[in-house]
Copies of this chain bind each other. A is one copy, B any other.
Amino acid sequence: MAEDPYGLDRVVGEPGVLPQRAQRLDPGLPIRPDEMLIDVESLNVDAASFKQIKESCGGQPEAVVARIQEIVRERGKMQNPVTGSGGMLLGRVREIGALHPAKGKVKPGERIATLVSLSLTPLVIQEVRGVRMDVDRVEVRGHAILFASGIWSRVPEDMPETLVLAALDVCGAPALVARYARPGMRIAVLGAGKSGALCLAQAHRSTGGKGQLLALDISEKALSALAELGVSDVSLRVDATRAVEVLEAVKQATNGALCDLVINCATVPGTEMATILAARDGGTAIFFSMATSFTAAALGAEGVGKDVTMVIGNGYVPGHADLTLDLLRTDTRLRVFFSGRYL
Chain A residues in the interface with B (C-beta under 8 A) = 5-6, 8, 16-21, 83-86, 115-117, 119-120, 149-151, 172, 242-245, 270, 273, 287-288, 290, 292-318
A18-B244, A21-B273, A311-B310 given; A316·B297 CB < 8 A: no
A242 vs B8: C-alpha distance in the bound complex, in angstroms? 11
Q: How far is the CA of A306 from the CA of B151 in the complex (A)?
A: 10
CA distance A117 to B298 in the complex (A): 10
Chain B residue nearest to A310 in the complex (CB): B312
Alpha-carbon distance between A8 and B115 when the two chains are bound, in angstroms: 43
Majority secondary structure of chain A interface residues (helix, strand, loop or mixed): loop
A21-B296, A273-B21, A296-B21 in contact; A310/B314 too (CB < 8 A)?
yes
CB-nearest residue of chain B relative to A175? B307
Query: Could you name 25 residue pairs across A and B whose Cβ atoms are closer than 8 Å?
Result: A5-B304, A16-B245, A18-B300, A18-B304, A20-B303, A115-B302, A117-B302, A117-B303, A150-B303, A172-B302, A290-B294, A290-B295, A293-B294, A294-B297, A298-B312, A299-B315, A301-B315, A305-B316, A306-B316, A307-B314, A307-B317, A308-B314, A309-B311, A310-B312, A311-B312
Q: Which residues of B contact A6 (CB under 8 A)?
A: 244, 304
A264 to B207 CA separation, bound complex (whole angstroms): 33
- Inter-chain contact B245/A119, CB cutoff 8 Å: no
**B305 touching A151, Cβ below 8 Å:** yes
- Partner among B19, B120, B245, B302 whose Cβ is within 8 Å of the Cβ of A315: B302
A121 CB → nearest B CB, Å? 9
A115 to B299, CA, bound (A): 11
A299 and B16 contact, CB distance less than 8 A: no
Residue contact A304 to B21, C-beta cutoff 8 Å: no
Asked whether B120 lies within 8 Å of A303 as measured between CB atoms, the reply is: yes
Given known A-B contacts A18-B243, A303-B116, A303-B119, A313 and B295 have beta carbons under 8 A apart: no
Return A283 CB to nearest CB of chain B, in Å: 12
Please measure, in the bound complex, the distance between the C-alpha atom of A293 and the C-alpha atom of B84, giving whole angstroms.
10
Contact between A314 and B309 (Cβ–Cβ < 8 Å)?
Answer: yes
| B residues near A302, Cβ cutoff 8 Å | 115-117, 151, 172, 314-316
The residue in chain B whose Cβ has the minimal distance to the Cβ of A301 is: B314
| Chain B, Cβ-Cβ closest to A48 | B295
Bound Cα distance from A116 to B299, whole angstroms: 8
Task: Output the nearest chain B residue to A295 by Cβ-Cβ distance.
Answer: B84
Contact of A299 among B119, B270, B293 (CB under 8 A): B119
Question: Which of the residues B244, B305, B314 comes within 8 Å of A150, measured between beta carbons?
Answer: B305
Q: A21-B296, A84-B296, A149-B305 are in contact. List 14 more A-B contacts (CB 8 A).
A: A6-B244, A18-B244, A20-B273, A116-B302, A120-B299, A149-B304, A151-B302, A287-B298, A290-B294, A292-B294, A298-B312, A302-B314, A305-B316, A306-B314
